[in-house]
Structure 1
């Protein structure tokens, strides 16, 4: 592990000598991730992107991509675009990225089951804002908004999310 890696441990998320409180999926941590299980997958996951709401914050890093109206994330294993960002209208099951709440105002993308998605293996593992302390995600990593904003400009394409 390098200091530039994000490491999920029993006491939170470690990064650059700091420890941040975090939440994981309602299904716990698993080595057998499946679509809809609510679990966070074990592994070394590369950071592959950052998304943000330009109407709610300044660009957190020069490689961050704005979330526009109509941006969605496909979570339907029947779709050829499964586990990829898509645009509305979209006839398959999906998540709206431009949400009314602040959960996805800033999203760090991992390479879980991406770019070559295996149907049913589980869609996106994001690092995003948590709902509240201790409240689980659907499989992602949840952080306080201020911690997420501190982390985002300090990561790069060599950064990994390590979940043991």
Structure 2
């Protein structure tokens, strides 16, 4: 049986709050958190803003100690372990790329105590064609309680992510308006 994969996910700003959004995925609609800096068309490293852009979903990560597998998506998904990091140091050759501990340049841990990356999808922001200081680690991940702002990502509740995963694949584009 062939499964239909959504060609796009639309992320619209929520009325009255620049750090919140409405995610439209086919017939599904979810509330979401955006960056603490709202949205921007001029994304810079550390600005806390979510880029206004069309970003293809590339692949994802998940914590197999926190999430049942299979996840039902055609996206390539890699289990997270304690050595997995993401480089956010603009001057390093690994900028905006996965890295492994031990790693001295600035980075994020992928295995987080707050569980935001228990399911984490990598969007093609500054990945295919990297530029220093244009922003790193722009993910589609799990939201904090109360949809508190992210550092520039799009975040939804776990239950919504589990409903969304079977509908997305490498051809899906996330359009932040």
What TM-score, normalized by structure 1, do the two folds share? Answer: 0.94
CA contact (8 A) 1:24 1:136 kept: yes
Deviates more, 1:75-84 or 1:8-17: 8-17
- 1:44 and 2:54 are equivalent in the alignment: yes
> 2:106 and 2:47 mapped to 1: Cα distance?
16
Deviates more, 1:126-135 or 1:136-145: 126-135
What residue number does 1:4 align with? 7
- Give the alignment partner of residue 93 of structure 1, picking from 103, 106, 111: 106
Structure 2 unpaired stretches of 5+: 15-21
Moved over 2 A (4+): none
SS of aligned partner of 2:58? strand
Aligned residue pairs total: 163
| Alpha carbons of structure 1 residues 100 and 3: separation in structure 2 relative to 1, 3 Å | closer
Shift of residue 3 of structure 1? Answer: 5.0
SS of aligned partner of 1:150? helix
RMSD: 1.5
What residue number does 1:17 align with? 27
> 1:90 and 1:78 mapped to 2: Cα distance?
14
- Give the alignment partner of residue 121 of structure 1, picking from 125, 134, 137: 134
Structure 1 unpaired stretches of 5+: none
> 1:72 and 1:115 mapped to 2: Cα distance?
19
Deviates more, 1:150-159 or 1:80-89: 150-159
What residue number does 1:112 align with? 125
CA contact (8 A) 1:113 1:124 kept: no
> 1:29 and 1:131 mapped to 2: Cα distance?
18
> 1:101 and 1:88 mapped to 2: Cα distance?
19
SS of aligned partner of 1:107? strand
